[in-house]
Amino acid sequence: MDIAIAVLTLALLALVIRFVGAPLRARGRSEPDAGACDREALEAAREAKYREIRDLELDYRTGKLSAEDYEAIDAQLRVEAIQILDRLERVPGAERSDRPPPPR
């Protein structure tokens, strides 16, 4: 029984070391791009802003907002969203699909 436990222990230890140490042995480690943190923050802000615009439209359509308030807040939110998209475009590695194709 003691030998079995010793073998089990060694096997488990070897497995754990191999598994945990795998990233240290990996070749061609990819370095995160310099703008990764900024991009994540801006993408989160963008999704939150989209959600806010959708929520605002739902609030207006369900009668919580007057038309004037809706137009004013909606315009403001869209300006804020554009600012976020502009900042996102300046971050290296950001998706370029958000801009429309140029007119023919």
Pick the binder of other proteins from 14, 90, 93, 98 (CB under 8 A).
Answer: 98
Q: In angstroms, rounded to a whole number, what is the distance separating the alpha carbons of residues 99 and 97?
A: 6
- Cα–Cα–Cα angle for 69, 67, 61, nearest 5°? 105
Q: In angstroms, rounded to a whole number, what is the distance separating the alpha carbons of residues 12 and 31?
A: 31
Pick the binder of other proteins from 47, 90, 92, 93 (CB under 8 A).
Answer: 47
- Smallest distance, other proteins to C-beta of residue 96, A: 10
Nearer to other proteins, 50 or 90 (CB): 50
Q: Does 33 bind other proteins (CB under 8 A)?
A: no
Site string for other proteins, 60-89 (x = CB under 8 A): xxxxxxx--x---x-x--x--xx--x----
- Smallest distance, other proteins to C-beta of residue 92, A: 16
Instruction: Go through the chain and tell me how many residues it has.
Output: 104
CB 73 within 8 A of CB 24: no
